[in-house]
Structure 1
Amino acid sequence: MSSSAQTGPQQGAWVDRVLLSGGEDDPCLRFGRPCDRGTLRAQVAERQRQLADAGLAAGGTVALCLPPSPGYVATLLAAWRLGGQVSLLDHRLAEAEVRRALDRLAPQVLVQGTKAPGGAALRGYADVEPVATALRRGRPAETGHALIQLSSGSTGPSKVIGRTAADLEAELGRYALLPRFPRRGERIVLLASMVHVLGLVGGLLHALHAGVELVLPERLTAAGILDAVSWDQRPTTVIGVPFYAELLSGVAQPPGLPHFARMIVAGELVRPGVPAAFAARYGVPLGTMYGMTELGVIATDLTGELHPAVEPTAGLCLEVRDGELHILMPASPYLGATDPARWSDGWLHTRDAARAQDGGRVVILGRNDSQVSIGGLKVDLTEVEHTLGSLPGVAESVIVFEDGVITAYAALADATSAEAVRRRLGQELASYKQPRHLRVLPALPRTATGKLLRDPAGLRKAAEAAGG
């Protein structure tokens, strides 16, 4: 399906054929209570009626801003089954961020939950009732993309990413060819967000497609995760981000889990020593994956034996040019004007530093641009700096990433307090995007040419001299 194809009934056929097929009693989801395919199909049909009542039809647009929940899964599949184009918004976004996203995407229908989940920071899933609301200024789909995502939350048209139903089915085909990825009759304990590509496709959609039961733990603590693994004796794979691998590695005496097959992490680089520590603690490998919102899974090391290298998945062509990874991609994944620095001449420019190895393997070295990863969630430092600098009373600001956290340096007007800035910033940005430290200086240091200094060591020295 090309990006110019129209959304419509073919997407509904794809959902039934690829995601909802199977026996009525086949287990498929567990959010505290198990859910079989017959129950899921009934839930999808009910959500489909609700979306239709709100005005969603084939070729229409809908934005989902829901926490992980049975309602999220059923609403997503129902929207696709109607032939709708779905934009996914992280439920952790601040209200101001949601408003900006809605202004930019102009969906015809917005779906949110009736209440915020209790204990949101540690809950693995929520119990919310999705509510669909028609938006007056919404526009129908202009492309045939089934899925729209905002990569990293930064501004600019090149960051709006579209994927067709065929793109998603092709990625599921790549997962099906991975010999150590969960298969029918097995289980996935999912820790990654189902709004983002790993949790969405590698977790939810793969589980539905392959006949794997998807399990979300009640609590995102070490005990809660291990408890979810122990619920069943079928082979179980845990999928998440490196933070959770480190969390589990710190458990002094984990229970015996003979059916624990492996853990797979993605979203950021794994610190040296973590794979060996995890394997020593649980006797199973810590596999790694590399992917992007634009393409999904790109390369893997599910055995844990190649670290830090990964092998490209079937059907993808990777090249390292001038230290940057490029991937063959005939059509641009971006909606609107395309930045040639991100995609040109049939190649996706990942902006990830990489090193090629013999046999087609690559070693990912980290970002070449301003995007960083906080707990597996992508954060664009330019967006954070722009938001901070636009607040009343902030004269100038610089955002840096040092020692694994986001740090802000700012010069404030006389009547502005650091606490007021923190409070206002909390209203504008999701919690994981907010700087861990805010250091106030009378004036920010500049280079000899008058540019703001961005060297973390120099900024830190200036802040210490100013007492900030």
Structure 2
Amino acid sequence: MDVDELFLAGPADEPVLRLGESIDRGRLRKLVSERQQQLRDSGLHTGGSVAVHLPPSLEFIAHVLAVWKSGAQAILVDHRFTEFEVNSCVERLSPQFIVEPAEPATGMMRGFRDTGSVIRPLEGGRAPETGHALIQFSSGSTGPSKVIGRTAADLVAEVERYTRIDGFPGAGHQVVMLASMTNVLGLVGGLLNSLHTGAEMVIPRHTGKDGILRTLVEATAPTVLIGVPSQVDLLARVADPPALPLFRRVITGGELVRDALWNSFAQRYGVRIGTMYGMTEAGVMAVDVLGEHRPALLPAPGHELRVENGELMLRQPASPYLGDPDPTRWSDGWLHTRDAGTVDASTGRVTVLGRLDSQVSVGGLKVDLNEVEQTLAGAPGVTEAVVVHDGAIQAFVALDGAGTGAAEIEAYLRQRLAGYKRPRAVYVLPALPRTSSGKPIRNAATLNASRLGAAAPS
């Protein structure tokens, strides 16, 4: 992947990033070259591997580009992961180096951090066995989470795909990016597309409603906001928003947009919410950026979607998963999305109906309930565990009577799961309800009825 040509070429004084201050191409090029030299001095060679475990920052951007410019593989490790999760990532992939913040990252509502970085060699690290340029984790780092690889050619094709999507921001726009750059929307749709097309990507210093509105007020060019519905919902709740003459569009991904949110946002701001549908495995797959076909979407240029047994399937010539291809996820040139949907035979428009499996969306971030459940089952004193999502993640457990309680279980989970994965509540039952065949019941209403029944006075 020619990083210089694709992402760094252009006038030195052209502004390309704004993280509190404006960063032009000349400064970014210099910083990427410096980080590339530091990686080389640390011992990184072409064909090597680097785990990038940094919060959203100029350092994160420079290191990812520097790793690719070095001809190495970048493994993105979410900065919100616990130490347990980070260690699990490292154990699974054995990168040769890890790039970490020079000081602890603090502030949950910070859009970016002004942080330094440290390059640390890892004992037992090895060169990757595949030719993937990018490695991401679909829903976590333990249990049933998937390790997904994308080649340089695949990433270049997706960057080109964005340039062919009608209404997606490019040269002359500012892109206010709320999605994480660890995830595919923030990385490719935000960072790489902006660097490639000449849009200026802006990350708010604070991601609460006041911080987002301040960034929109300060816009100096036609502005497009990209994020997840829960972030957009913050703005929709502002009763009397300020005038935003340069605010042109909102684009969301990660989960379906409720009708109430779509309507209230249009009323408040006179702006439609556009929608994107995609997966870590393939990037953007279907779009309605201009909000013209809701709830239907158009397949993204170059993608072919069909429906089999009610499941959306994407044509993909090779499995994106590291290791042996899983026939339940990819087979015969088709990726199983595990999303329910329809494809209109006459127009080709796609309608996404929701998940078919255990993966849910929490604030736009994917969480696999199986991962949460397996982690919970390993907690001391837990004999049975079921995790469901009913507006929020709920956990139901039975204990061995040795003195462990909900507080101890929650402390155990805090060490092993990122905050967005942890159950909103952990309920202790004498025993979990089961079907006549002995299988645990996973219906939220039944589980909550059992909980309330167990708490009722006799």
Which category describes the TM-score, using the shorter chain as reference length? over 0.9
**Counterpart residue identity of residue 93, structure 2:** L
DSSP-derived class of the 2:259 partner? coil
Runs of 4+ aligned structure 1 residues displaced above 6 Å come to: none
Residue of structure 1 in register with 2:254 after alignment? 267
Residue of structure 2 in register with 1:49 after alignment? 37
Shift of 1:332: 1.0
Aligned with residue 242 of structure 1, among 211, 219, 229? 229
Q: Which stretch has the larger CA shift, 427-436 or 301-310?
A: 301-310
DSSP-derived class of the 1:439 partner? strand
Counterparts of 1:315 and 1:441 in 2: how far apart (Å)?
A: 51
* 2:185–2:253 contact (8 Å) kept in structure 1: yes
Shift of 1:220: 0.5
Residue of structure 2 in register with 1:3 after alignment? none
RMSD of equivalent CA atoms: 1.2
Residue of structure 2 in register with 1:379 after alignment? 367
Shift of 1:329: 0.7
Counterparts of 1:117 and 1:278 in 2: how far apart (Å)?
A: 33
Aligned with residue 436 of structure 1, among 401, 405, 424? 424
DSSP-derived class of the 1:360 partner? coil
Shift of 1:233: 2.6
Q: Percent identity?
A: 54
TM-score, normalised by the number of residues in structure 1:
0.95
Shift of 1:232: 2.7
Write the deviation string for residues 44-92 of structure 1: whole angstroms up to 9, x where unpaired: 1111111112221100000011100000000110111001101101000
The reply on whether 1:74 has 2:49 as its aligned counterpart is: no
* 1:411–1:440 contact (8 Å) kept in structure 2: yes
Counterparts of 1:456 and 1:418 in 2: how far apart (Å)?
A: 19
* 2:139–2:145 contact (8 Å) kept in structure 1: no
Shift of 1:277: 1.3
The reply on whether 1:21 has 2:3 as its aligned counterpart is: no
DSSP-derived class of the 1:128 partner? coil
**Counterpart residue identity of residue 329, structure 2:** R
* 1:343–1:349 contact (8 Å) kept in structure 2: yes
Structure 1 residues 441 and 156: alpha-carbon distance in aligned structure 2, compared to 1, 3 A threshold: closer
Shift of 1:116: 2.4
Shift of 1:307: 1.3
Aligned with residue 136 of structure 1, among 123, 133, 145? 123
Structure 1 residues 62 and 431: alpha-carbon distance in aligned structure 2, compared to 1, 3 A threshold: same
DSSP-derived class of the 1:189 partner? strand
Counterparts of 1:218 and 1:172 in 2: how far apart (Å)?
A: 26
Counterparts of 1:231 and 1:272 in 2: how far apart (Å)?
A: 29
DSSP-derived class of the 2:397 partner? strand
Alignment: residue pair count:
454
Counterparts of 1:453 and 1:60 in 2: how far apart (Å)?
A: 46
Aligned with residue 118 of structure 1, among 106, 113, 136? 106
Structure 1 residues 158 and 225: alpha-carbon distance in aligned structure 2, compared to 1, 3 A threshold: closer
Write the deviation string for residues 273-312 of structure 1: whole angstroms up to 9, x where unpaired: 2112111111111100000011101111111121111100
Shift of 1:213: 0.5
Residue of structure 2 in register with 1:340 after alignment? 327
The reply on whether 1:35 has 2:23 as its aligned counterpart is: yes
Counterparts of 1:254 and 1:177 in 2: how far apart (Å)?
A: 33
Residue of structure 2 in register with 1:8 after alignment? none
Counterparts of 1:127 and 1:384 in 2: how far apart (Å)?
A: 32
* 1:187–1:215 contact (8 Å) kept in structure 2: yes
Aligned with residue 167 of structure 1, among 154, 167, 173? 154
Structure 1 residues 428 and 325: alpha-carbon distance in aligned structure 2, compared to 1, 3 A threshold: same
Q: Which runs of 5+ in 1 are unaligned?
A: 1-10
Residue of structure 2 in register with 1:300 after alignment? 287
* 1:157–1:338 contact (8 Å) kept in structure 2: no
Matches within 5 A, 1:103-114: 103-114=91-102
DSSP-derived class of the 1:273 partner? helix
* 2:3–2:65 contact (8 Å) kept in structure 1: yes
Counterparts of 2:379 and 2:158 in 1: how far apart (Å)?
A: 41
The reply on whether 1:216 has 2:203 as its aligned counterpart is: yes
Matches within 5 A, 1:266-415: 266-357=253-344, 358-402=346-390, 404-414=391-401, 415=403
Shift of 1:457: 1.2
* 1:353–1:367 contact (8 Å) kept in structure 2: yes
Shift of 1:156: 6.8
The reply on whether 1:257 has 2:252 as its aligned counterpart is: no
Shift of 1:157: 8.5
* 1:158–1:339 contact (8 Å) kept in structure 2: no
**Counterpart residue identity of residue 115, structure 1:** E
DSSP-derived class of the 1:101 partner? helix
Residue of structure 2 in register with 1:446 after alignment? 434
Residue of structure 1 in register with 2:407 after alignment? 419
TM-score, normalised by the number of residues in structure 2:
0.97
Write the deviation string for residues 120-167 of structure 1: whole angstroms up to 9, x where unpaired: x11110111111100011110211110001111265798211111111
**Counterpart residue identity of residue 309, structure 2:** D
The reply on whether 1:91 has 2:108 as its aligned counterpart is: no
Structure 1 residues 158 and 388: alpha-carbon distance in aligned structure 2, compared to 1, 3 A threshold: closer
Counterparts of 1:329 and 1:276 in 2: how far apart (Å)?
A: 35
Counterparts of 1:154 and 1:319 in 2: how far apart (Å)?
A: 30
